[in-house]
Amino acid sequence: MKDIMWKILLELMKNAKISDRTIAKNIGVSQPTVTRQRTKLEKDVIDGYTAIPKWGKLGYEILAFTFIKSKQVLGLEEKFEVAREKGVKWLMEQPNILMGGGCRGLGMDGFFISLHKSYHEFNEFMFKHKRIFGDQIDDVQTILVSIKGREILKPFHLKYIAED
């Protein structure tokens, strides 16, 4: 990626609402250059723009990091593909899951990150998940993080990467 495109991307990571004119001023290029490069970034690199809410103020209390170990029978290609398609479909249907996929480490091979309004809601969510995928899963481990109160010492934001 060109140096100018990288600088534009970093400016957008700090503030997605920033104007092309302000980006141009900040990085020392013309506004038309920023507009052209931003259009290319939006086509090839940027997956979307979003606001990062204060989840606790929206009623969410728990951020869950869930790790899954699949049964070894999924090593057979046909069974693996069927299970993968079922998993992708399920993940995409869950509005409270922020991200999910394969992983390596701690003996686990899958993960998802989810938001929940209460422990009860989390518990019901996991109960349904285990009912749907119980025959395909050997182990499930979850780390729960309280996102209300004093537990979060540094809130999630992409601006920190951009400031590096």
Neighbouring CB atoms inside 10 A of 9's CB total: 19
pTM flag (> 0.85): no
Domains of the chain, each with CATH number or no CATH:
3-44 (1.10.10), 55-146 (3.30.70.920)
pLDDT for the residue 30? 96
- Angle, helix 20-27 to helix 31-44, in steps of 10 degrees: 110
% of the chain beyond a pLDDT of 70: 96
pLDDT lower than 50: segments of the chain: none
Please report the pLDDT score of residue 156 as a whole number. Answer: 84
